């Protein structure tokens, strides 16, 4: 039997629908994601910590749940909002339903609302705090709660998602075994470069891409001192994606500042923002962020356009960047900064997610660029 549920936004807009997943209440910033598939990757992406995600594609859950597509061990978003939940998942890799998965992990889901209207509202009014409840349908009370919730600016969400202790990553990309209905990590030709990866909320497919490119990866907590990293004598340092406001993690910015000029550095998403702030730039919050698998990014040197996957609510202020930092790519939708490099040091980063493969292989060259930098500076 379907359970009634209510979504209440801080600006007073409400949406009545039906619950799935866990019973209870969820709080967080509401953002929309324009991907047509990949809901498992979205749900388990640590970058969504503190947020509730609206999927713009109308039918979600149609291929079920399979562990190979997880980006981390569990969901990190606080709520999941869709138009319609598929009643019959169908995929040879499926190990369960989306409804069961969210229920198991205590994530409140909402379906049966006009997600197009909600997306338009967020686009016009901006991302904002909200509450989903299956316990009360008192719209006025829920709106008041939403108005009292803290925003993402100034909140250190990285501490909520980073690993507790260092660990090593060995697996390459998935491959399908001939004649079998299962996948396994692809055998690696060899590991030649020692990479320390800062975990600000790292996605597992980033680790697979690094390993496949020839890197032996040591993942460390977000607060690991730069001196401890350098003591291990890595060939390169990787700065991962993660949730929230880059200015809210000054310890990470300071550690990266100490690493610049001593070892090649490559950053993705939040790692890109932390690196750029360490180079002296500033950041700002976007109106509704970039979340989805269809963002066009142009390389300013070649004018080639890549279709990219993105998930961020903050961006780098181009006008605040120092002369020794070059913008390498921009978003064609709003001309925000999508990539930078230092003009003289082996340091570069991108705002988008090359490991998510929406192109599908448009951005793989970035991992090989990192390897070439390490090779040149060994």
Burial of 183 (0-12, 13-18, 19+ CB in 10 A): middle
Question: Packing angle between helix 204-212 and helix 365-377, nearest 10 degrees?
Answer: 60
Rounded to whole angstroms, the Cα distance separating 326 from 331 reads 15
- The SS3 assignment for 212 reads helix
Among 287, 371, 271, 277, which Cα is nearest to 336's? 287
- The SS3 assignment for 172 reads coil
163 included as an active-site residue? no
355 included as an active-site residue? yes
Residues 6+ apart with CB under 8 A from 96: 64, 65
Rounded to whole angstroms, the Cα distance separating 214 from 189 reads 8
- The SS3 assignment for 27 reads strand
Residue from 25, 29, 41, 355 carrying the catalytic annotation: 355
- The SS3 assignment for 325 reads strand
Residue from 269, 290, 291, 306 carrying the catalytic annotation: 269
Residue from 272, 290, 342, 353 carrying the catalytic annotation: 353
Rounded to whole angstroms, the Cα distance separating 275 from 117 reads 37
Count CA within 13 A, CB hemisphere, residue 132: 31
170 included as an active-site residue? no
Q: Which residues are part of the catalytic machinery? A: 269, 353, 355
């Amino acid at each position: 039997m379907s359970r009634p549920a209510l979504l209440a936004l801080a600006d007073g807009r409400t949406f009545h629908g039906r619950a799935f997943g866990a019973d209870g209440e969820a709080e967080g910033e509401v953002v929309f994601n324009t991907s047509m598939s990949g809901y498992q990757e979205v749900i388990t992406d640590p970058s969504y910590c503190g947020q509730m995600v609206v999927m713009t594609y109308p039918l979600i859950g149609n291929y079920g749940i399979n562990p190979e597509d997880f980006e981390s061990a569990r969901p990190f978003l606080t709520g999941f909002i869709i138009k319609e939940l598929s009643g019959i998942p169908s995929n040879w890799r499926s190990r369960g339903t989306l409804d069961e998965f969210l229920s198991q992990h205590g994530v409140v889901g909402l379906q049966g609302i006009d997600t197009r209207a909600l997306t338009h509202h967020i686009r016009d009014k901006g991302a904002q705090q909200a509450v989903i409840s299956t316990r009360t349908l008192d719209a006025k009370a829920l709106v008041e709660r939403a108005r009292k919730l803290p925003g993402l600016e100034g909140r250190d969400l990285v501490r909520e998602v980073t690993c507790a202790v260092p660990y090593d990553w060995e697996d390459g990309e998935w491959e399908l075994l001939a004649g079998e209905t299962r996948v396994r990590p692809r055998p690696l030709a060899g590991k030649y470069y020692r990479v320390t990866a800062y975990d600000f909320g790292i996605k597992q497919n980033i680790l697979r891409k690094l390993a496949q490119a020839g890197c032996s990866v040591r993942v460390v907590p977000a607060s690991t001192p730069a001196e401890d990293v350098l003591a291990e004598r890595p060939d390169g340092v990787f700065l991962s994606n993660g949730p929230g406001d880059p200015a809210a993690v000054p310890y990470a910015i300071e550690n990266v500042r100490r690493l610049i000029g001593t070892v090649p550095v490559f950053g993705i998403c939040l790692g890109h923002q932390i690196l750029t702030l360490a180079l002296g730039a500033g950041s700002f919050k976007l109106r509704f962020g970039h979340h989805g698998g269809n963002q066009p990014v142009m390389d300013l040197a070649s004018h080639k356009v890549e279709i990219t996957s993105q998930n961020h609510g903050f961006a780098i202020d181009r006008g605040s960047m120092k002369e020794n930092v070059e913008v390498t790519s921009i978003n064609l939708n709003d001309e925000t900064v999508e990539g930078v490099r230092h003009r003289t040091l082996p340091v570069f980063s991108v705002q988008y997610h090359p490991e998510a493969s929406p192109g599908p292989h448009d951005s793989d060259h970035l991992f090989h660029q990192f390897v070439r930098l390490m090779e040149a500076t060994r």
